[in-house]
Structure 1
Amino acid sequence: MSGFVTLTAAGAIDATYRVGALRRGAFARADSYTREVSGKGVNVAAALAAGGADAVAVVVLGADDVRFARCGLTAPLLRIVEVPGATRVNTSIIDAEGITTKVNAPTPPLTTEAWEATVEMLRRELAARGASWLVISGSLPQLAGTADLIDLGIVRALAREVGARVALDTSGAALDAVLADPAGIDLLTPNAEELAAAVGRPLHTLGDVVAAAREIVARGVDTVLASLGADGLVAVTAERAVFARSGAPYVANTAGAGDAALAGFLLGLSRTPAASAAGADPLAVAAASAAEWGAHAVAHASTLVSGPPHGIRTRVETAPDLDRVLTPEGEA
């Protein structure tokens, strides 16, 4: 099994409240409450570990929360870079209908010293594991005192030094910056809305998504794994497009589903030699694994998954119907 290192430059505490009803401006008493160390790279590492992979998560956390982090279920995976103060809190509120309302705290800036410490931690972990993948996930902070985001160029260079491929899952200005210079990015994982923004047009059909993903591939990205929400996902390369969709046993919490799907895709890719030897299609295996892990994740009450998926039915299409109309945003 391949080794994986994830980077979460803006770690978080995930707070999840379950309520009977959520009405704007009204008082609500939570039926339950959970709190866990998170951030997209932590979620990915936890899913990879649940799938049997050797994975660690380099994560920037506020010193106030380090003791809590070291007592949690993910503690063995964490490689913590401490910064002063508290860690930001991302809040999910899930009502009785299973609808998730999510509010993420602002991403705090990183000092030059903290970023240098993060890069050094990455250097050590990549070298120690001989990692085959570096996964950069979540928001990218600004460097304190500047308007610039942290520079991923040095991170990509670190990955190349050890022969690791790079997967990136980010959004907003960070995604725009990467798309302007995607050299060294092997896997990009936008959702349909982010992909539409990247190409500057709406995407109404699966064919629209594939065409948009191929524009990104043409800029130098090897594979685009596009999440389509309730419609499933599609893995796109210059030559191939593979669609996959899994049915979740039930929906408990949609937060973290994309992170689990990314982990599932990487786990599927790590089985490529065995899949090829057995005559299976490696990209189809990876896409199916991504869909299964995503469906598995939404059945979890927490953001983090525990154990691999079992008994989830998955449909895979290696020649998908490109005229298929996507479900409008906000509908299931």
Structure 2
Amino acid sequence: MSGIVTLTAAGAIDATYRIGALRRGTFTRADSYTREVSGKGVNVSAALAAGGADTAAVVVLGVDDVRFARCGLTAPLLRIVEVPGATRVNTSIIDADGATTKVNAPTPPLSAEAWDATIHTIRAELAARTAPWLVLSGSLPELAGTGRLVDLCAVRATAREHGARLAVDTSGAALDAVLADPAGIDLLTPNADELSAAVGRPLLTLGDVVTAAREIIARGVVTVLASLGADGLLAVTADRAVFARADAPYVANTAGAGDAALAGFLLGLTRAPAATAAGEDPLIVAAASAAEWGAHAVAHASTIVAGPPHGIRASVETAPDLVRALTPEGEA
């Protein structure tokens, strides 16, 4: 059985408040409040499941919140690694204009025993699947008492052991660690800011993004899926660049859009044999699917999408205008 296993080494509880207006330093009563188990890998698996894929979400959660996690909509997907205490809480505040203010709790360190248990759980899930994907999503914790991030070599070795293709969606110090030795990564999914930081220069046009992505590809990555926010996304390989963009019916919550886009891309790739047989280009199918799922996600009030996109169609360019300017930050 093929499938997609996601890893969230720093699980979270997502708390989402909807308010009329956010005014700094004042009391505000929320109009509504939701709470759900999250973390980027959980979000990806939820979208994959909504798209009909076989998926499991390996996630590290505090034991205080395991009962809550097992009662949620994503419970059947979760493969929980329990650690002492409570799970960190990430907070989104969404105002009446649809703007999202997000505050994420710091990532707690992980013991060596918990990391070993996490790798063991990944190994078990990959072993149950043929030619799977392993998706490493979200921030990485430090190994307790070392001041260093958990060892990614164990993740890569486990993927290789089971013939799994490896996708990585992370940022900050974890992304720096990945980029220091990215050989063997099949899919890397930075946003424009992360890609800019990786190459050490601003990215102002689509051409700038393609050039930066190919610098990463030259280090050993197969495909870079660059998220450009409201501008769309670019799927870049060593010799191709496909641009895709889709309009959301409305904007309810931008948190989780990148996770849904990654899920959409992987869902598109799972249709590659059928697409090829039908004379379609798998990279085009995957890029379009990513844009549609991303647009679908922003129309959801929560970070977990409940079903596949309907009525959203991406526009795709196989020869994008490389001099097209990106929208400046804050003007989307």
Change (3 A) 1:192 1:67: same
Which residue in 2 is equivalent to 1:67? Answer: 67
Shift of 1:131: 5.0
Which residue in 1 is equivalent to 2:313? Answer: 313
Equivalent AA in structure 2 for residue 285 of structure 1: V
Cα distance in 1 between the residues matched to 2:208 and 2:312: 28
Cα distance in 2 between the residues matched to 1:32 and 1:105: 21
Which residue in 2 is equivalent to 1:195? Answer: 195
The answer (yes or no) to whether the contact 1:2–1:270 under 8 Å persists in 2 is: no
Cα distance in 2 between the residues matched to 1:215 and 1:235: 14
The answer (yes or no) to whether the contact 1:2–1:53 under 8 Å persists in 2 is: no
Which residue in 2 is equivalent to 1:127? Answer: 127
Cα distance in 2 between the residues matched to 1:116 and 1:314: 41
**What do the CA deviations read for 1:229-262 (whole angstroms, capped 9, x no partner)?**
0000000000000000000000000000000000
The answer (yes or no) to whether the contact 1:18–1:31 under 8 Å persists in 2 is: yes
Cα distance in 2 between the residues matched to 1:228 and 1:196: 11
Which SS does the other structure have where 2:230 is aligned? helix
Which residue in 1 is equivalent to 2:101? Answer: 101
Q: How many residues align?
A: 332
| 1:11 and 2:20 matched | no
Which residue in 2 is equivalent to 1:293? Answer: 293
Equivalent AA in structure 2 for residue 173 of structure 1: A
The answer (yes or no) to whether the contact 2:2–2:129 under 8 Å persists in 1 is: no
Which residue in 1 is equivalent to 2:209? Answer: 209
Name whichever of 157-166 and 39-48 sits farther off: 157-166
Shift of 1:13: 0.1
CA RMSD of aligned residues (A): 0.8
**What do the CA deviations read for 1:76-97 (whole angstroms, capped 9, x no partner)?**
0000000000000000000000
Cα distance in 2 between the residues matched to 1:118 and 1:132: 18
1:1-332 equivalent positions in 2, closer than 5 A: 2-130=2-130, 132-332=132-332
Cα distance in 2 between the residues matched to 1:108 and 1:171: 16
Which SS does the other structure have where 2:13 is aligned? strand
Shift of 1:184: 2.0
Q: Where does the alignment leave 5 or more consecutive residues of structure 2 unmatched?
A: none
Shift of 1:163: 0.9
Which SS does the other structure have where 2:193 is aligned? helix
Q: Where in structure 1 do 4 or more consecutive aligned residues deviate above 3 Å? A: none
Name whichever of 288-297 and 176-185 sits farther off: 176-185
Which SS does the other structure have where 2:142 is aligned? coil
**What do the CA deviations read for 1:200-246 (whole angstroms, capped 9, x no partner)?**
00000000000000000000000000000000000000000000000
Name the % identity. 84
Cα distance in 1 between the residues matched to 2:147 and 2:183: 23
TM-score by length of 1: 0.99
The answer (yes or no) to whether the contact 1:4–1:131 under 8 Å persists in 2 is: no
Shift of 1:129: 2.3
Cα distance in 2 between the residues matched to 1:308 and 1:242: 22
Q: Where does the alignment leave 5 or more consecutive residues of structure 1 unmatched?
A: none
Equivalent AA in structure 2 for residue 211 of structure 1: T
Cα distance in 1 between the residues matched to 2:122 and 2:314: 35
Which SS does the other structure have where 1:129 is aligned? coil
TM-score by length of 2: 0.99
Which SS does the other structure have where 2:4 is aligned? strand
The answer (yes or no) to whether the contact 1:61–1:87 under 8 Å persists in 2 is: yes
